Structure 1
Amino acid sequence: MTSRDSLATGQRSLGDPSVRFPLWPPLTAGCPVTSTETVSYPVEVDYAYDKVPADLFTTAPGRPRGHERWAPLLPPLHAPGLGEGGTPLVRFGDGLWIKDESRNPTWSHKDRINRVTVSAAVGAGAEGIVVASSGNHGASAAAYAARAGLRCAVLTSTDTPPAVDAFLRAYGAVVLPVPVDARWPLLRRIVERFGYHPVSNVTPTHTGHGFGPEGYKTVAYEIYAELGVPAAVFVPTGYGELLFGVWKGFAELVALGVTDRVPRVFGCEPAVGGPLAAAVRGGVPATRVPVGETAAYAISSSVGGYRGVVAVRESGGGALLVSDGEMAAARAELARGGMWAEVSAAAGLAGYRQQEAAGLDLGSGPVVCVSTSSGFKDRDLLASSGSAGLDPEDWAEVERRVEAGGG
């Protein structure tokens, strides 16, 4: 075995870990044994943890960057990468750090998941992939499909953000704008008709791709390598895949004896919906909720999944509801610190500030807020008004504007 060989051994149900499946083919519609008509249980990937190199989590010169560094604890990386991962932890105050995922190749955390899911498509021999997304997931999937030489169909909406639409078309993806409710039935038809590999959800409650969240574990590995185990991690949350990946990465560190604890993980959802918060409140594996209007379109979801519930429960964290106003304030705070984030991406910091104001005791240690994507991904990008023209000889107006400042 080399340091770049995967130690993945199979798949198992989160609903009942005793239910196991071979590693191939990748399960893209949850567990066929434990899922019911109302709750779809995801599967996760298992590994030969006893064979993990002892020095995997030590820092040494010459180690590969990004997913290649963590290959033993990822599914096989059959698709070429784009330099995903290795994003910076930016100090943002006394004991507060921002994990800035906008530094990934397509400016979001989704590159971590799509390197893995597109690798699954290559390993399964698929000619193409299909994804339902109007945001970061679609843009990233299109990039990794292009990199791997696969066709890509993206089911999107008519109000796709300008930057995302530009990504999709630049990478040669087939863009299919359809009503939201029609996306998933059409996705399933494309899978059946063309044999494309689905890299987004196809089930009644969210399961997503069985390999996908494994890519998000690398966020936890990187935080540990640079900072150790924080007291808490606050994560913008839609379906809960990133939340689960962060928790699982730290849980693996404990299982491997690298550390003795996991941080508390907090899922931060738009207050106009919040399926994870509703599931945690109701003590159920997953649920659906009505959703109102929000600027945080990338994490606005009416349906949740069991992964997020597992992460919150096992870490002693929580599911937080944050308002658009709180996210806008957090986004402005990030910008004042030099980081331009999408509204959705600021939900983690919004959740932390909310709990800080409420006096939540997180214990000792640093806190990390994940900022998931760039401000270029927001829908209102082209709606922002530029400054009116200026006569350079009109010093009084120049002086007024300079003294007024920007923002």
Structure 2
Amino acid sequence: MATTDSLATGQLSLGEGGPDQDLRHPLWPPLTAGCPRTSTEDVSYPVEVDYAYDEVDPERLFAPAPTRGGLERWAPLLPPLLAPGLGEGATPLIEIEPGVYVKDESRNPTWSHKDRLNRCTTSAAVGVGAPGIAVASSGNHGASAAAYAARAGLPCVVFTGPDLPPNVDAFLNAYGAVVLPVPWEARWPLLRQVADRLGLHPVSNLTTTHTGHAFGPEGYKTVAYEIFQDVGAPSAVFVPVGYGELLFGVWKGFAELRRLGLVDRVPRIHACEAASGSPLARAVAQGLPAAHVEVGPSDAYSIAAPVSGYRGVLALRESGGRALTLDDRRLADAQRELARAGLWAELSAAAGLAGLRSLGEPDLSDGPVVCVSTSSGFKDLGVGTRRTDPVVPEWEAVHRRLRAAGIGG
């Protein structure tokens, strides 16, 4: 269902302007390459959407709803939702041990958190009358963009990497997207050309340091809204991080809840990056708004980002969170722990729990902690290549297999 109940009023630069510099932009058109007034050759500063917060009725907006599902539930605090949805959001919060919760974003329509973002960015494409959308993605973002474009009746072009997993390739093509595997370094330049020459609306990054789409991270705020409805304000949230948009969205959602008087604090929002790159950790360590890194080998391809953006730095600074770096072994340990709890997560998606475990025993003195799990294990490298050996259909053979698995003594 499309809705225009938004209280959005404009776009604000997250960069620092001079004393006479206006940091506000109109709501339309949505900025897809950061703020033109505060960005420099070295750093592109993102923008965020601003709202008429004094017109929000928080008790009504955050009252328990008889049904949950679809971002229109939160329409007043989102950009105009002009594209039809797919029932995104309303994902479960699962307690895997006392005081430790997992927000399972694999329950979204395309099995990842990206559906929250793409409901908003596809709405932007509809709002400006674009003939289609285009995205550069390693997998999750592209699959989600393709689904929401199909739902809106728009073509979708996906620039992806040359090592795209076959299962994700099939996923993208199922929605009718034009899938273009290219070298990683060519994705953003080609995306810019498609946007400039063909008028397709870009729903991922175009800039040297990451800004992404103005409307996208607004969809991620709803993760915080849902956590609040389930457990209030936790003491900390651990978030898998590639470019930091989800990290920023979760922080902003809780910051808005505090602004509206519904919570008295913002949780510490911790960034959980793959050790193969970790540009946000480098930016924080060096006091920079963003950083570039060489990405080493890792199976956590969804969060193997070569560049960070200012949104992540802002979220960590304002929440008191930490930038945690995690190797593949620690990620795999967390992935197995999630599986033992009945949750099949992509290796990258296990970074939230891996980040928590890297700090030792969780500190629950200020309340519970939440680990965001961003996507399904279906998206992992190597899915579909395993073949379980058949067993002879006789008791002795079956019993041997069971004993090998520790069943039956």
Shorter-chain TM-score bucket reads: over 0.9
Q: Indicate whether 1:231 and 2:238 are aligned.
A: no
In the alignment, does 2:390 pair up with 1:392?
no
Q: Determine whether 1:119 maps to 2:123.
A: yes
The answer as to 2:104 corresponding to 1:100 is yes
Structure 1 contact 63–69 (Cα < 8 Å) conserved: no
Task: State the 1:65 CA deviation.
Answer: 2.8
Is the Cα–Cα contact under 8 Å of residues 102 and 373 in structure 1 kept in the other structure?
yes
- Summarize the Cα distance change of 1:361–1:339 in structure 2 as closer, same or farther, 3 Å threshold: closer
Shift in Å, 1:404: 2.3
Which position in structure 2 is the counterpart of 1:15? 15
1:216 aligns with 2:186: no
1:330 aligned partner: 334
Instruction: Give % identity.
Output: 67
- Partner residue, 1:78: 82
Preserved contact between residue 57 and residue 221 of structure 1 (Cα < 8 Å)? no
Secondary structure of the 1:11 match is strand
Other structure's SS at 2:217 match: helix
Match of 1:195 among 196, 199, 221: 199
Match of 1:402 in 2: 402
Q: How far apart, CA to CA, are the structure 1 residues paired with 2:88 and 2:153?
A: 18
Equivalent residue letter for 2:87: G
In the alignment, the residues of structure 1 paired with residue 225 and residue 199 of structure 2 have an alpha-carbon distance, to the nearest angstrom, of: 34
Which residue of structure 2 aligns with residue 180 of structure 1?
184
Query: Hey, what's the Cα distance between the residues in 1 that align with 2:58 and 2:219?
Result: 21
Deviations 1:44-75 (A, max 9, x none): 00000000123244434445533111000000
Counterpart contact for 1:12–1:19, Cα < 8 Å = yes
Instruction: Give the equivalent residue in structure 1 for 2:152.
Output: 148
Aligned with 1:381: secondary structure? coil
Task: Verify: 1:288 aligned to 2:292, yes or no.
Answer: yes
Paired residues of 2:99 and 2:364 also in contact (CA < 8 A): no
- Structure 1's unaligned 5+ residue stretches are none
Does 1:371 find its partner at 2:373? yes
Give distance in 2, aligned partners of 1:355 and 1:36. 37
8 Å CA contact 1:4, 1:68 repeated in 2: no
Shift of 1:106: 0.2
Q: How many residues align?
A: 402
Query: TM-score w.r.t. structure 2 length?
Result: 0.95
Report the counterpart of residue 349 of structure 1 in structure 2.
353
Aligned CA distance change for structure 1 residues 402 and 59 (closer, same or farther; 3 Å): farther
* Partners of 1:327 and 1:347 within 8 A in 2: yes
Q: TM-score, normalised by structure 1?
A: 0.96
* 1:162–1:377 contact (8 Å) kept in structure 2: no
Q: In the TM superposition, what is the alpha-carbon distance from 1:323 to its structure 2 partner?
A: 0.8
1:53 lines up with 2:53 in the alignment: no
Shift, 1:362, TM fit:
6.1
- 1:15-42 superposed Cα distances (whole Å, 9 cap, x missing partner): 1375110000000000001001111100
Q: Which runs of 5+ in 2 are unaligned?
A: none
Q: Distance in 2 between matches of 1:310 and 1:362?
A: 25
How far apart are the structure 1 equivalents of 2:62 and 2:33?
36
Provide Cα deviations, 1:58-97, integer angstroms capped at 9, x if missing partner.
4344455331110000000000000000000011101000
- The letter of the residue matching 2:268 is R
* 1:238-296: CA deviation from partner (whole Å, max 9, x where unpaired): 00000000000000011111111000000100111100000111111001111100010
Offset of 1:160 from its aligned partner?
A: 1.3
Q: Give the deviation of 1:364 after TM superposition.
A: 1.8
- Show the counterpart of 1:340: 344
Once residues 168 and 361 of structure 1 are traced to their aligned partners in structure 2, the CA distance between those partners, rounded to angstroms, is: 41
**Pairwise CA distance, 1:217:** 0.0
Instruction: Determine if contact 1:206/1:306 at 8 Å carries over to the other structure.
Output: yes
Q: Which residue of 2 aligns with 1:381?
A: 383
**1:112 partner amino acid:** R
Paired letter, 1:291: V
Task: Give the letter aligned to residue 303 of structure 1.
Answer: V
